[in-house]
Structure 1
């Protein structure tokens, strides 16, 4: 009798707590991935993306985005030790398409696109254009009342995207879903 087929890992669900990308939390059900996106009212031109480190039990700043209101947008990864990049250096916008491309860890390039009305992240060199992450919008009761389902990202359990999740979340603020 042949051994049982190995079942692929299910995609992870990064759920938004709020509808605003300025102040929200993205987390999985077991909090193995927990990100906080914060724009303070006294620093309305600076957005910080913090990640919860499970080993040290503290929030670590993984990215900062500055100048979204002034038009001189720049981003920094790696906290205070990182260097600032302009938005044009980090995210190359496509003039004829929605979204843009960005370079992640290990020189892997990803592209934001829309497919059947859904916002997706795909590898640029993938011939099948299979989504690595897909956005699912929130749903409301009768389209106006409280949310019946929070918005979430369905992220495939691919090691490259798990390593580049900081940059993936950092580009969300630029693309403004």
Structure 2
């Protein structure tokens, strides 16, 4: 009887920058390549664009409106998509900084913090980890980056087919985590004051 096939090695999806408004998520051969971009002329909209280098095609997969606002919204599928509150897309855990969301096929996943690092697990099986966040490393802790942060991804279609929603949900939970830090609370309060001024005009 032949031995069972070896499991596929995990994908490494590298995150180019520490920014959640402008960065890229890409594997080494760029087969999966997603750009997160916030244009300076439209700073309230953060777009998630998939690059297909084989056919030289760009596809808008998702948009987040007001990523740093008190009540961001999200939509998928370009202009034909429907804007929904971020809190409707990601069911944030009131007792932690994670949250649960559903893919287009209806599979639910949960982001959770384990030793201050993000993990994505099946909502119906918290022990089944599908993504593990690996933080960036620096030379001597304070010098230039020696290794980019990356997501260690289980190479299954239920995960890779849902990268648009996975990335969008990651940006939302990471934004919430950063806002909870003391240095970022001041920034968040300033942002809320700006939005309040605009809305009250």
Deviation, structure 1 residue 54: 4.3
Q: Give me the whole-angstrom Cα distance separating, in 2, the residues matched to 1:118 and 1:64.
A: 25
Q: Give me the whole-angstrom Cα distance separating, in 2, the residues matched to 1:5 and 1:72.
A: 49
Pairing partner for 2:138 from 137, 140, 148: 140
Deviation, structure 1 residue 82: 1.0
RMSD: 1.4
Distance 1:97 1:70, change over 3 A: closer
Please give the residue correspondences for 1:17-36 in structure 2 after superposition, counting only pairs within 5 Å.
17-36=16-35
1:105–1:163 CA contact under 8 A, matched in 2: no
Please give the residue correspondences for 1:45-64 in structure 2 after superposition, counting only pairs within 5 Å.
45-64=44-63
Q: Give me the whole-angstrom Cα distance separating, in 1, the residues matched to 2:67 and 2:113.
A: 23
Provide the aligned length of Structure 1 versus Structure 2: 175
2:31–2:52 CA contact under 8 A, matched in 1: no
Query: Which residue in 2 is equivalent to 1:6?
Result: 5
Q: Give me the whole-angstrom Cα distance separating, in 2, the residues matched to 1:70 and 1:110.
A: 24
Q: Give me the whole-angstrom Cα distance separating, in 1, the residues matched to 2:147 and 2:154.
A: 20
Gaps of 5+ in 1: none
Q: Give me the whole-angstrom Cα distance separating, in 1, the residues matched to 2:7 and 2:41.
A: 46
SS at match of 2:41: helix
Query: Which residue in 2 is equivalent to 1:175?
Result: 173
Query: Which residue in 2 is equivalent to 1:79?
Result: 78
Query: Which residue in 2 is equivalent to 1:103?
Result: 102
1:51–1:59 CA contact under 8 A, matched in 2: yes
Q: Give me the whole-angstrom Cα distance separating, in 2, the residues matched to 1:129 and 1:97.
A: 18
Deviation, structure 1 residue 173: 1.4
Q: Deviations over 1:119-175 (max 9, x none)?
A: 10001101x522110110101011110001100000101221111111000112111
Query: Which residue in 1 is equivalent to 2:184?
Result: none
The structure that is helix-richer by fraction is: 2
SS at match of 2:8: coil
Deviation, structure 1 residue 98: 2.1
| Greater CA drift, 48-57 or 143-152 | 48-57
Query: Which residue in 1 is equivalent to 2:154?
Result: 156
Distance 1:114 1:70, change over 3 A: closer
Please give the residue correspondences for 1:120-131 in structure 2 after superposition, counting only pairs within 5 Å.
120-126=119-125, 129-131=127-129
Gaps of 5+ in 2: 178-201
